[in-house]
Amino acid sequence: MKFSEIAAQLDSFVQSSSLNTHPDRDPEIGGLTALENATEGMLGHIQGQKYASFVETTAASALILPTDEALQTQATARGIAWIATPDPRLFFARAIALFYQPYQPEPEIDPTAIVHPTAEIGKDVYIGPYVVIRAGVKIGDRACIHPQVVLYPHVEIGDRALLHSNCTIHERTRIGADCIIHSGAVIGGEGFGFVPTDRGWYKMQQSGRVILEDGVEVGTNSAIDRPSVGETRIGRNTKIDNLVQIGHGSTIGQNCAIAGQVGMAGGVKVGNGVILAGQVGIADHIEIGDRAIATAKAGVHHNIPSGNVVTGIPAIPHQLFIKASAIFKRLPEMHKTLRQLRKTR
């Protein structure tokens, strides 16, 4: 694909381009690449000043640049075609879609699939080999269910939902339109509900359900548990990474990002636009306000107000953690000084 074709197809996101002044520099682009691996015929992107030095060293034939005239001048001087846009990473993501589309099977129901006669299947649905669909299941139009998925009774799957191989959706779970569930994920499994007695633990049946609103994505081997009563709900367009555990009865808002190995106990309430970095742990019934951020490995034992950033175990305000870390590094020196002061008393 010519560089000019890429620019034309994504024209609404282009602020300026070297094609305006050097239309003869229109290389053939064979694909997209990370800058450190770039070769001739590839398109790369510069995301801010951290990577600006690559303009002088990359072998890429074309670049997606930020709105930085200095970088644009550098690229032009090296003979590299470029596009400038306010968000190079987003443009890069859109450009990838011009070269690659995920595997999408043609609509069919494989003869090895086990589909209960009471199940309702929408139009243009793909159901792959050895899928098991139990009684009362409803599947929307153009849904795609890859091999060996299991849908328990009365599950609802929305239009265009994509369920990858070997995920399991437990009873009464509702999955909205355009959701993506990756391999090995378990949605709506039993919450961890046990009552202590003098004879040991008594199992509390988990009669609730899980609801995923439209556009939710759940990563590989993640688990979202149903509660004893009520629901566990994940808000619209929230993205959940691999190996995440969401406890029974939790509520997560819209447009959140939850990174790998996050674990939250039951009854947690997470607002809209929240970011939970890798390995964050959240105690039961904690409330996290809108747009809050918990950095990697934070141990959250107290509520987090809206917009706050927390770090550490236990989690404290991020700026306070930075100050404490600076002091922590000096503790051996401070201890030595304290011992000397004690000797002089």
**Position 151: which residue type?**
L
What's the Cα-to-Cα distance from 18 to each of 28, 41, 78, rounded to whole Å?
A: 15, 16, 12
Q: Kind and range of the H or E element at 325?
A: helix 318-329
Q: What is the CA radius of gyration of the chain?
A: 26
What's the Cα-to-Cα distance from 29 to each of 14, 39, 151, 176, rounded to whole Å?
A: 17, 11, 43, 37
Catalytic residue among 248, 285, 301, 302: 248
**What is the rounded (10 degree) CA torsion for 247, 250, 254, 257?**
-30
- Is residue 248 among the annotated active site residues? yes
How far apart, in whole angstroms, are the C-alpha atoms of residue 188 and residue 24? Answer: 57
φ, ψ (nearest 5 deg) of residue 334: -65, -35
Active site residues: 248
